[in-house]
Structure 1
Amino acid sequence: MKRRLELDALRGLLLVLMTLTHLPTRFSFYSSQAFGFVSAADGFVFLSAFLTGAIYARKLAAGQHRAVRSILLRRAGRLYLWHLGLLAFAFTVIAAIGAYGHRPALYNLLDFYFTAPEVALWTAPLLVYQPPLLDILPMYIVFVLATPWVLGAARRDGWRKLLLLSGLIWLFAQCGGRRLLLEGFNAATGIYVPIPEQALGSFNWFGWQLLWIGGLWAGAASNDPKLRPQLEVSPMMRAAAAIAVLGFLAWYHNLGGIWPPRDMYWFGKPTLRPLRLLDFTMLAITASWLVPMLFRGLRWLAMLGRASLSVFAVHLLLVLGSLALIADDSVPLDDVQQLLVLIVTFTVLTWIAWRYQQRRRDAGD
């Protein structure tokens, strides 16, 4: 697949929005759900799956089955090592600062670890216990590991059955399936402090896999002449989607005096509730039309996007460090501290992305 700079730039923008959301600055209020009821994480997961499907479905079609499995297994292994490193940093340095430095933001972040450290220490490497901020990498690892099987099954049996199965798993998530499995895990292991559902992280894998499978399908279809017509969207549909997206934004951001509903159940993030999926679908349709026109020349964002996994992992370290600056939840960082946090964070992330680009260039890739 030829490198598409506009997709790299879009992924870079999503990384910037996620970083702003996680940093303890005033900008987190505006970046957390900048696109209505959809966060940058939704787009990042889908776009990562799209690029994965576009690249590796074609390699499978060329008969490179072993190479695809090997590459994705190595990627999952690198991600897992990143995750273990972040856990080690959180359970030692961050936990010590939170406990002995009286930092409530850090203490709350690791509340289950402080409640049951023995349980946390063996369930976290198994990707069961997932502290806040450290809950997206476990999901990504599992999805990457499953990708060779998914693409292989799609090549043998077609995408229709896989998408149907994915939809059924999504329904399982909406019906509280994760909670039932957690109760079974707690009962089977007999741990003395049962793991609460919130300790599993804010991403319900059974719901979010629909976004990943959909992204794999869209990526595979973009390179397959037989499937590509399924991605085609008429100008009228794009216009309707754009209008609907503007309506969602107006509703969400209180334009015209319209306030969002009190009950946000149908827009929930953890399991990808139905109206959230609808909002994302409309945004994706609109983006497929606008991104090629608007994002092609944004080189800094494209550089961040090309080094997305390294940038994402390092941004978590920087966010954990910035949270250590908060001495009291009721007294956030002042304006100077917020500015310094932003400057340091994006300087480091830019350097990480630049180093990644240099290494790729030296390797001749």
Structure 2
Amino acid sequence: MRLFHPHAEPPSPGGSLVAGRLAILDGLRGYFLVFMFLNHLTFTGGYLLVLLNHAELAFVEGAQGFVFLSGLLAGLVHGRRMARHGLGTATVAIWNRAAEIYAYALGCVLIILVLQTLLPGSWVYWHHWLGDLHFGRGRHVAASALLLYQPDYLDVLPQYVVYLLATPPLIWLCLQGRWAWVAGGSIVLWLAVQLGAHLALADAVARLLPLRAYFNAFAWQLVFVAGLVLGTAMIQDRIDWSRLFRADRPQLALVAAMTVLFFAIWRVWSNHFAMPEAVEARLRALANRGEFGPVYLLNFVALAYLVTWVVRLGPATASIPLRWLAYLLDRLFKLSFLRLLGRHSLQVYAWHVIAVYLLKAVDENWGPFGEIGKTAIAVAGIMLLAVPAWMLERTKAVPRAGKLQPAFASRPIDPRP
């Protein structure tokens, strides 16, 4: 796929999407999962390992990349399915996936609520994450089942359910050449949130059932739909990547680099130094993470373009630092561990939420820990993220004929977030 590698051709509409050609996408999803775990992990007094994070230098975090890649793969895989087998077949597959994600989200909530009844004091140290959600509050449990009252760190999964329910008609429109309507509608919806058009709806819902959600799905859909439109265009071979990414014309990459550097300065300033009150207020208004404000949008677009340019064209440039950076990024995103996580991202994400809640209980009951202890726990947690992925790989390693296959054999990629 030429978007991510300088020598590979984009998949033709009749070609097969195999893990070897899209391995870097699995690796990217695994990379984002690791850093979401580190960002969500909490210790008394904080911990230093979390500072080794691209989010410290940009208004871009794992969640944005994760949502974008899910949309991209939905367009690539389900778009191909729809083109071959029709709208009905693709819709059944997509909505079955939405039902599976809903089941995982609901299962995680139930597990956490059961743990809440078993662990003494958990109501106190989980209250900030759960709000008023517990078995004694039926309205809150019902609202959670309806995806309206969302515990912290589980609020990404309800987004996917909503997005996948809307995915079939969006892909169909893109396949019919009406991608501009899809992109334009997505942009208008994002702009409506930025201007507060959703507030009346939120107030109306809150009068009926408790409402708690950090991510605004009407705003974050822009990231998912952008990936979906791009993925659908790729299977139709409608994008000339050689015009967007050219080593002999690096002007766009230079603009992206300057934008990334600009936002890095503001990120470091806001994280580690005092800002004038008026400046801080303006930044808060434009960098609303829950509503994917303009600062997050611009920084994400610039960084995504720059990283893609470096990985795709860096090896062909005369710059030794760029060649090394491209090599390191390519090797990083193709690590077998990250690809393993990415192939089973739903199960890994659900497992990481339970792990974060349990480790919070460990810190509250047996902490505080020293910096070495915190680092050891964090690293062990990263390694344990692979447990559900490894179990699924071992299960799938036994084919129908009963002959064992390697646990990490290449397999067709799917659009699972």
TM-score normalised to structure 1 length: 0.87
Give RMSD over aligned pairs.
2.7
The amino acid that maps onto 1:246 is: L
Q: 1:269-348 to 2 correspondence within 5 Å?
A: 269-291=289-311, 293=326, 294-296=329-331, 297-327=334-364, 332-335=368-371, 337-348=373-384
1:2 to 4, 7, 18: 18
8 Å CA contact retained: 1:222, 1:228: no
Cα separation, 2, equivalents of 1:142 and 1:238? 34
Q: CA deviation at 1:203?
A: 0.6
- Report the 3-state secondary structure (helix = DSSP H, G, I; strand = E; otherwise coil) of the residue aligned with 1:202: coil
8 Å CA contact retained: 1:104, 1:327: no
Cα separation, 1, equivalents of 2:390 and 2:122? 36
**1:24-58 deviations in Å (ceiling 9; x for gaps):** 14133553824511111011100111111111212
Q: 1:49 to 1:102 in 2, by over 3 A?
A: closer
1:214 aligns with 2:247: no
Q: CA deviation at 1:74?
A: 1.9
Cα separation, 1, equivalents of 2:106 and 2:135? 20
- Report the 3-state secondary structure (helix = DSSP H, G, I; strand = E; otherwise coil) of the residue aligned with 2:237: coil
Cα separation, 2, equivalents of 1:32 and 1:287? 12
- Report the 3-state secondary structure (helix = DSSP H, G, I; strand = E; otherwise coil) of the residue aligned with 1:33: helix
My pick for the range that moved more, 261-270 or 103-112, is 103-112
The amino acid that maps onto 1:267 is: A
8 Å CA contact retained: 1:49, 1:219: yes
Q: 1:8-19 to 2 correspondence within 5 Å?
A: 8-19=26-37
- The corresponding residue for 2:60 is 38
Cα separation, 2, equivalents of 1:138 and 1:230? 37
Q: 1:178 to 1:230 in 2, by over 3 A?
A: farther
2:162 to 133, 142, 146: 142
1:111 aligns with 2:131: yes
- Report the 3-state secondary structure (helix = DSSP H, G, I; strand = E; otherwise coil) of the residue aligned with 2:85: coil
1:176 aligns with 2:196: yes
The amino acid that maps onto 2:169 is: W
Q: What is the aligned-residue identity percentage?
A: 27
Q: CA deviation at 1:349?
A: 1.5
1:93 to 100, 106, 115: 115
Structure 2: runs of 5+ lacking an equivalent = 1-16, 313-325, 400-404, 406-410, 412-417
Cα separation, 2, equivalents of 1:229 and 1:41? 26
1:265 aligns with 2:247: no
TM-score normalised to structure 2 length: 0.77
Q: 1:28 to 1:246 in 2, by over 3 A?
A: same
Q: CA deviation at 1:96?
A: 4.8
Q: CA deviation at 1:340?
A: 4.6
Cα separation, 1, equivalents of 2:243 and 2:74? 17
1:20 aligns with 2:38: yes
1:239 aligns with 2:261: no
The amino acid that maps onto 1:348 is: L
My pick for the range that moved more, 107-116 or 59-68, is 107-116
The amino acid that maps onto 1:40 is: G
- Structure with greater helix share of residues: 1
2:84 to 55, 62, 71: 62
Q: 1:112 to 1:62 in 2, by over 3 A?
A: same
- Report the 3-state secondary structure (helix = DSSP H, G, I; strand = E; otherwise coil) of the residue aligned with 1:146: helix
- The corresponding residue for 1:248 is 263
8 Å CA contact retained: 2:174, 2:233: no
8 Å CA contact retained: 2:253, 2:306: yes
Structure 1: runs of 5+ lacking an equivalent = none
Cα separation, 2, equivalents of 1:360 and 1:102? 37
Cα separation, 2, equivalents of 1:230 and 1:161? 25
The amino acid that maps onto 1:122 is: A
Q: CA deviation at 1:82?
A: 0.8
- The corresponding residue for 1:155 is 175
8 Å CA contact retained: 1:169, 1:207: yes
The amino acid that maps onto 1:184 is: A
- The corresponding residue for 1:49 is 71
8 Å CA contact retained: 1:21, 1:29: no
- Report the 3-state secondary structure (helix = DSSP H, G, I; strand = E; otherwise coil) of the residue aligned with 2:198: helix
Q: 1:362 to 1:207 in 2, by over 3 A?
A: same
Provide the aligned length of Structure 1 versus Structure 2.
352
8 Å CA contact retained: 2:287, 2:295: yes
Q: 1:333 to 1:108 in 2, by over 3 A?
A: farther
**1:199-239 deviations in Å (ceiling 9; x for gaps):** 2x211011001111101011122222234469824432123
Q: 1:127 to 1:230 in 2, by over 3 A?
A: farther
**1:50-70 deviations in Å (ceiling 9; x for gaps):** 111111212222234333222
Cα separation, 2, equivalents of 1:345 and 1:5? 24
Cα separation, 1, equivalents of 2:214 and 2:150? 9
8 Å CA contact retained: 1:22, 1:28: no
8 Å CA contact retained: 2:57, 2:268: no
The amino acid that maps onto 2:72 is: F
- The corresponding residue for 2:6 is none
List 4+ stretches of structure 1 deviating above 6 A: 257-260
Q: CA deviation at 1:315?
A: 0.6
My pick for the range that moved more, 298-307 or 111-120, is 111-120
Q: CA deviation at 1:116?
A: 7.7
